[in-house]
Structure 1
């Protein structure tokens, strides 16, 4: 199991990088190993980089790394960590899938950082295992792999599978690994070197708490927004939202206008449209299926709302990446959208 005492020192780890991998997720996993060696005065960990074909591979930020070899050469490692990032749900390299399965048959602990969970699932290596993935990819993953248990944990360790939501969560997963294998004191020393004031465990939340995300601390408003986020597929009526928070409809309206500069109905629609965009970009679901999964009663109504909000139709959303990126930036600042009801 991942986290068990190593069979020998230094512990050999293979990092398998696919194109457009997340640089921060990767470096946040490697650097704790380097500092653990330094702080302990021993070589506890040794790692090598591999790419599917053995050629240089670029991260999503454009920085290119030179691997030691191709995916087949990772088969002799006890720990294999797949690193990916943008568009992992589209990655379909049968050669890589076969190499990962050979690593499994050889008895390796196999894991993934960020969106790499998608690739492990497509290789058939997550069936029967619990996993996690970056929050932005969770809805799409659940639609593509309904048989796999996916959680919103920071990281998951299930026997010889481990998955991490990405970003700085890689740091926490590796600090937990170091603590399990070589003691909390060493892990705390490494964390201190990073000026990382607390080692998070797997149960910590991926996303910022609602008050920090929204810049709002009104408890009743936050309770309504939480209900909205929990009921995107079958939206609740405004009266039900108000009653759940102990408010009248008029009070609810005033709170949303005061703190979020939009009506409750408009805010709810924006939440559902943002979820719809993730499903369009990360799954092969039809437009009508996406519409129904996000609480819209018809494809035509969904398309109109989507075009008004993002400036393009759902069908065109699956087109040019540059325009999609602009739409994402626009979605991140919905208060600037014209025509808020």
Structure 2
């Protein structure tokens, strides 16, 4: 998980506007949630996302930001709240535990013809586990003509579940790939060749309905198979080598940025994403490529 615990500083101004500095992956989500919880217009809430000491999805949910804002209003002073590590573990919620059952059927030649998944994910004290994402992702890397997926959001005697690293998909991917390996062994096929025979490609319809654009799975597996690390001899006892594939979806809404030129010819780039996983550097590189200048001359 992340090293830095959740933290926020809030300042309620005399004009009724509130400024929040917080460690978040989703500043616009924070702005909307704070405004809704404190009965404010979003124009009255300004959120400055700070440098993040790790997130992995766990810095999306809202915790103490509205509390800090309200305390600032009550006291007339800036208010900072930092969770202790104990509070992080007790309050923010781990990723969901799960029980997953997978069945697959294939021809003797190695073509997967059918697959079934039964997924049960822990949700905590109220519904909200990522079982939907698990169901979306479990068989998506493959072109399988017959698929049935049952998913269950299970309420348990725990506080809540949270998002960490492709929530729901990692559980499902591990389960499915374990069975794919077992099936390859049963059929006497190389695990990469077996996956290549059944890989989803551009135009493959997923079990959930959408059609794949170009996803590069075949190219990736072929590159893996040709790599010296796959073909080199194993050194010493108790050494193994494995392969696995998994799927995660992404979505985007409308976004924008503004660029201004400085007197020395460098560029200022302003855009609304949190700097997580190199986002800021990537935006600077894209702007530099379009403008035909060095990335070092773009200041995000």
TM-score (norm 1): 0.25
Q: Which has the larger radius of gyration?
A: 2
TM-score (norm 2): 0.27
